Amino acid sequence: MGRRCVWASRRLARPRFGTFVANERWRLARRRLLGMLGPMSHHPLLFDLDGTLLDTLGDLADAANAARGAFGLAPLADERVAPHIGWGLGHLLSNVLPPGQLQHLAAAREIFMAYYAGHLLARSRPCPGAEALMARRGERFMGLVTNKPLRFVTPILEALQWQFDVVVAGDTLSARKPDPAPVRHALAGVVGAEGAWFIGDSEVDLAAAKAAGVDFLGVSWGRVAQLGVPCIDRLDAALEWRRAPRC
For every one of its 247 residues, what pLDDT tens digit does the chain have, with 9 covering 90 and above? 443 333 333 334 444 444 555 455 555 555 544 444 333 446 899 999 999 999 999 999 999 999 999 999 999 999 999 999 988 899 999 999 999 888 999 999 999 999 999 999 999 999 999 999 999 999 999 999 999 999 999 999 999 999 999 999 999 999 999 999 999 999 999 999 999 999 999 999 999 999 999 999 999 999 999 999 999 999 999 998 764 456 6
201 and 227 inside one domain: yes
Name the amino acid, one letter, at 127.
C
* Catalytic residue list: 48
Distance CA 19, CA 44 (A): 25
129 and 188 inside one domain: yes
109 and 192 inside one domain: no
Q: What are phi and psi of 55, to 5 degrees?
A: -80, 95
147 and 67 inside one domain: no
Does residue 187 belong to any structural domain of this protein?
yes
- Helices 105-117 and 57-69 pack at an angle, to 10 degrees, of 130
The structural domain count of the chain equals 2
Backbone dihedral region of 179: left (phi > 0), alpha (psi from -120 to 50 degrees) or beta? Answer: beta
183 and 230 inside one domain: yes
Angle at 147 between CA 85 and CA 80, to 5 degrees: 5
